[in-house]
Structure 1
Amino acid sequence: MEYGTGEGMNDLDAILERLERNEEIARKFFEVEVTILSVLNFKDLFERLLTEIREKFAIPYVWITLTEEGDLAPLIPVLFDSDVVRQRLSVVSRDTLLGLIGSSREPILVNEDLSPFYKLFPDHEKYLIRSLALAPITLNGDVVGTLNLGDASPDRYVPGMDTTLLKRLAIKVSVCLSNVVAHERVKLSSSRDEVTGLLNARAIEEILAREFQRAIRYENTLSVILMEIEDQVSHESKGNLPREVAGRVAKEMRSLVRVTDVLGTYKQGEFVVILPSTTKKKAMKLLERLSLHISENPIQVEDNSIELRLKGGIASTEDAGVIDARSLVRRASEMLARQRRGGK
């Protein structure tokens, strides 16, 4: 009895091989999902996700794109504490991301004309990509980013390929993200200034110490701006300004600093901005921009228009005598004191 031709057996072998390969891929996706499901730390979630995918699937280019607006904004600076994530993270506006992927929650595969997607690449990275997969990540129903996989081969991610497993992973990442954000909000609430909602002095000191060590390790420049807000009429400083005014000032400042900068309050009621990888000259430009914006935009409280003035002192790891985070802040405080004396 003849059970099949040689050609038929070859076809069967090919089918079995393909099924075995698909089962292996599904198993790896499942292992990634299991790894991230137990994580309740924002930084750890993305560290594990990026590492697991790159290692298990031998994908040369794996990175995360997040939008700079919305519920994730206060948490994004934490990701720059991770050497793993920092190099594989891009932060863009929501309009930029949705302009490329639209409103669909389905993964997108591209292997032609990838140039529009270059704006999603991490800064300073030159990825030699000829095919790309983007899986939307959501938070509370809104797209807040994408998980991006790239390859030098144009055949790895071809439009029309089955993306079921990638979509399932993106959904699991979104669920994990929701849990992590809820957990991180509880932690953040204890490190926030009640009046402004910004990071308090304790949190700022911890971050500054960490950023100083990183600047030394990677031979980057770290700058700090210490600022005081003053009512031009009453000459009350930030510590004595009405709560609503101080809160509104904080909101204005948040709109002007970069997502990688760290804005907070300090011990005597001052505002502080930590500027990683920023020279003193660039810090001065930011201070000028902040000062101009504050002076040109009075705060409206009921029927009153409160005109404010900003004074600031800048210090940098470029400065002589700056040997640690404390001396960096001390130098900025000295510069602020000089401004209080009228620049003398």
Structure 2
Amino acid sequence: MSELEIEQMIANSKANENIALKLFEIEKEILESKSCEELIQCLLNSIKQKFDITAITLLLVEPTPISYLFNELLQSNWQHRHSTKISLDQLKVFHHDSKPFLTNDLDSLSAVIPNNLLIEAQSIALIPLILEGQLFGSLLFSDRDKSRFSNKLGTFHLEQLATKVSLCLSNVLIREQLEYMAHYDRLTGVANRRLMEVFIAEELVRQQRYGVPFSLLFIDCDDFKQVNDQYGHDCGDKVLAYIAAKLQGLIRENDRCFRYAGDEFVVVLASQKHQEAELAAQRLSRFFVKNPMPYQNTVLPVTITCGVAASDGKRSMSELLKEADSHLYQLKNNRQ
């Protein structure tokens, strides 16, 4: 072996040792993450910084097997900016063997990878993310250096990175799934009664300390039993999901919607007094009158009744809910 070859081996060994050290540091950082979003944010920032990569994006399979963590209601602005949806078939073109894909021939990728992700890129690497044996995403590394990624380069370290990230994500997702199931209703996607109790308790403390008012809307789906009897429980589930989605979209960012029980929902209106809550209730009710639910090539009338209660800082959560519920049934009785 020549002296030049020995020097090259030493240089390669040092380079591999440096890469391994950086991967170890990244693994330590992401292991400390408490949530899926925190892990992904830490991962992308750390890789970009330590390996000086031009840009990193998370490609998520649509529909993703972890959609409850990436649905539109729960996604933060950061996730929206740094993740892109892609079909499973498109992603399998790159990861048919579950290995990283490297190339500096980008002309053939425009039909699969969105053009905005290839701006200024001269080479890319795609790192598969696998959860419970299913391909659910890929890390897209893009670089201005044409020689940075090519199909002639080895993928050993990138395979290591893919395995470590997938394992860490799996652990975080299991923990986050349990937390999600404990606090969110799987049918409608809104927070459940347990989280409602915590939120209202916090609002009561805030009002007692700082005098900030809030109000409750106790919401009931009109004639819900008839919907189930006439159209079946599958239709009833769609009605509940429709109501929850529309309520979430109609209330302000600092208000909160909860599924209380059955066809009952509670909306907490932050900083709102009784008159303002009454106007909000009327606005929500009018929306559903004007916007029936699309169902099986037709539309299904879906209406709600909203009972109102404004907190004075002295009554308990139970008393406020009881008042709003009583107001709801008073409104229903007045219509009969």
Give the aligned partner of residue 136 of structure 1.
128
Contact 1:40–1:179 (CA<8 Å) still a contact in 2?
no
1:247 aligns with 2:237: yes
- Which of 56, 59, 62 lines up with 1:65 in the alignment? 59
Give the aligned partner of residue 100 of structure 2.
107
Aligned in 2, Cα 1:138/1:271: closer, same or farther, shift over 3 Å?
farther
Report how far residue 269 of structure 1 moved: 2.9
Partner deviation per Cα, 1:81-100 (whole Å, 9 max, x = no partner) = 263x44221123333433x3
Contact 1:132–1:148 (CA<8 Å) still a contact in 2?
yes
Q: Which has the larger radius of gyration?
A: 2
Cα distance in structure 2, aligned partners of 1:169 and 1:56: 13
1:1-344 correspondence to structure 2 within 5 Å:
8-77=2-71, 80-81=75-76, 83=78, 85-98=79-92, 100-112=93-105, 113=107, 114-119=109-114, 127-193=119-185, 196=188, 198-200=190-192, 234=226, 245-249=235-239, 269=264, 291=292, 293-294=294-295, 296=297, 308-310=300-302
Aligned in 2, Cα 1:187/1:9: closer, same or farther, shift over 3 Å?
same
Which letter does structure 1 place at the counterpart of 2:237?
Answer: G
Cα distance in structure 2, aligned partners of 1:292 and 1:23: 60
Report how far residue 293 of structure 1 moved: 2.2
Local SS of the residue matching 1:118: coil
Partner deviation per Cα, 1:273-297 (whole Å, 9 max, x = no partner) = xxxxxxxxxxxxxx99x84523636
Local SS of the residue matching 1:169: helix
Report how far residue 170 of structure 1 moved: 0.7
Quote the RMSD (CA, aligned, Å).
4.4
Contact 1:295–1:310 (CA<8 Å) still a contact in 2?
no
Q: Which of the pair is proportionally richer in helix?
A: 2
Aligned in 2, Cα 1:184/1:243: closer, same or farther, shift over 3 Å?
farther
Cα distance in structure 2, aligned partners of 1:51 and 1:310: 46
Which letter does structure 2 place at the counterpart of 1:25?
Answer: I
Local SS of the residue matching 1:46: helix
Contact 1:231–1:309 (CA<8 Å) still a contact in 2?
no
Matched residue count: 255
Partner deviation per Cα, 1:286-334 (whole Å, 9 max, x = no partner) = x99x84523636xxxxxxxxx832359xxxxxxxxxxxxxxxxxxxxxx
Aligned in 2, Cα 1:190/1:141: closer, same or farther, shift over 3 Å?
same
Identity value in percent:
25
Local SS of the residue matching 2:8: helix
Partner deviation per Cα, 1:194-239 (whole Å, 9 max, x = no partner) = 7656433786998xxxxxxxxxxxxxxxxxxxx9865599479xxx
Which letter does structure 2 place at the counterpart of 1:293?
Answer: P
Q: Which range moved further: 263-272 or 12-21? A: 263-272
Cα distance in structure 2, aligned partners of 1:182 and 1:201: 22
Contact 1:198–1:250 (CA<8 Å) still a contact in 2?
no
Partner deviation per Cα, 1:216-272 (whole Å, 9 max, x = no partner) = xxxxxxxxxxx9865599479xxxx9865432445689999xxxxx99755683599
Cα distance in structure 2, aligned partners of 1:271 and 1:130: 52
Aligned in 2, Cα 1:137/1:194: closer, same or farther, shift over 3 Å?
closer
Cα distance in structure 2, aligned partners of 1:131 and 1:253: 46
Q: Which range moved further: 13-22 or 103-112? A: 13-22
List alignment gaps of at least 5 residues for structure 2.
200-218, 247-252, 268-287, 305-330, 332-336
Partner deviation per Cα, 1:3-47 (whole Å, 9 max, x = no partner) = x9xxx4444333322321221112111221222234341111101
Aligned in 2, Cα 1:76/1:232: closer, same or farther, shift over 3 Å?
closer
Report how far residue 71 of structure 1 moved: 3.2
Aligned in 2, Cα 1:159/1:186: closer, same or farther, shift over 3 Å?
same
Cα distance in structure 1, aligned partners of 2:245 and 2:156: 39
| TM-score when normalising by structure 1 | 0.59
Partner deviation per Cα, 1:103-160 (whole Å, 9 max, x = no partner) = 32100112112313423x7xx6563111111011011100000011111122111103
Cα distance in structure 2, aligned partners of 1:134 and 1:149: 6
